[in-house]
């Protein structure tokens, strides 16, 4: 524990390219880039699957088998296969981000389509009966009703990304995981523990941020039902 305190007390660790602010920045930046790409892919696809009911079985199947796929193995395979394809500056970053996206898509996808499907059938019927067009039903009824599950899916994806981005330091991705990997290589337990603590803090902070976002954007009329709706696989385990 003393090593941990020393690490944080050392001013050298608070500046420069290996300093804490820079590493936090990289960790967050890579995470947000991956999340952004995953959102662009998964939300429209989830809306399509949820709204039409098409491809539901295969989406669920893929999401489940991805959960069983060990992320560390996946990360290493993709980096080894893809590294030759990228120019030098992107050689580790791009494959790692690709894996982050790959892992973030299933929870968002599952959250979105189960959310849309679980929108109260009678509310959807009522909207149709009132003369809403399909697109209006989607925009004004299904999506707002699906928001709690969509946000919960995004939250799961975010945790998955932050967690995997830590591990990705093993394949040289910049970020907080580097403290753990480098610390391990130099048997510097203080540095490892500091990295782990920072990662945990970042993850917790993001979790709280998402809880807050959920409070702000989800209609209070829907909040009660969140607990009742079980959504297998939308919140992925930290990896």
Partner 1 sequence: MNTVWLSSNLSWIAELTFAHLWLTVVPTALGLVLALPLGWWAHQVPRLYGFIVGSSGLFYTVPSLAFFVLLPGIIGTRILDPLNVVIALTVYTIALMVRVVADGLASIPPETVQAAEAMGYRAFQRFVLVQLPVAVPVILGGLRVAVVSNISIVTMAAIIGVQQLGSLFTQGYSLGLMTPIVTGIVLCLAIAVVLDLLILWASRALTPWRPKEVAA
Residues that bind partner 1 (CB under 8 A): 1, 4, 64-65, 67-74, 76-77, 80, 159, 162-163, 166-167, 170-171, 177, 180-181, 184, 189, 192-193, 195-197, 199-200, 203-204, 207, 227-228, 230, 232-233, 236-239
Cβ atoms within 10 Å of 36's Cβ, excluding its own = 12
121/228 with CB nearer partner 1: 228
**Are the CB atoms for 180 and 45 separated by under 8 Å?**
no
42/171 with CB nearer partner 1: 171
Distance, CA of 170 to CA of 178 (rounded, Å) = 7
CB of 231 to partner 1, least distance (A): 11
Distance, CA of 44 to CA of 35 (rounded, Å) = 14
CB of 44 to partner 1, least distance (A): 26
CB of 108 to partner 1, least distance (A): 17
CB of 106 to partner 1, least distance (A): 12
238 to 71, 111, 161, 164, 199: CA distances (angstroms): 11, 16, 9, 8, 12
21/232 with CB nearer partner 1: 232
Secondary structure class of 70 (helix, strand, coil): coil
């Amino acid at each position: 524990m003393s090593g941990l305190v020393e690490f944080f007390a050392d001013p050298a660790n608070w500046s420069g390219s290996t300093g804490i602010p820079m590493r936090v920045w990289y960790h967050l930046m890579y995470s947000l880039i991956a999340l952004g790409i995953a959102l662009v892919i998964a939300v429209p696809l989830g809306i399509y699957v949820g709204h039409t009911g098409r491809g539901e079985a295969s989406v669920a199947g893929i999401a489940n088998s991805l959960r069983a796929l060990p992320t560390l193995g996946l990360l290493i395979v993709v980096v080894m296969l893809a590294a030759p394809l990228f120019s030098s500056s992107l050689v580790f970053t791009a494959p790692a981000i690709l894996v982050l996206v790959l892992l973030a898509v299933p929870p968002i996808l599952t959250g979105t389509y189960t959310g849309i499907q679980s929108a109260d059938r009678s509310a959807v019927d009522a909207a149709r009966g009132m003369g809403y067009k399909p697109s209006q039903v989607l925009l004004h009824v299904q999506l707002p009703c699906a928001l709690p599950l969509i946000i919960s899916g995004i939250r799961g994806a975010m945790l998955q990304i932050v967690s995997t981005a830590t591990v990705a330091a093993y394949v040289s991705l910049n970020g907080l995981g580097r403290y753990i990997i480098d610390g391990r290589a130099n048997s510097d337990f203080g540095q490892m523990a500091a990295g782990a603590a920072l990662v945990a803090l970042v993850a917790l902070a993001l979790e709280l941020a998402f809880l807050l976002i959920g409070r702000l954007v989800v209609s209070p009329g829907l909040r009660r039902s969140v607990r009742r709706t079980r959504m297998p696989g939308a919140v992925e385990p930290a990896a």
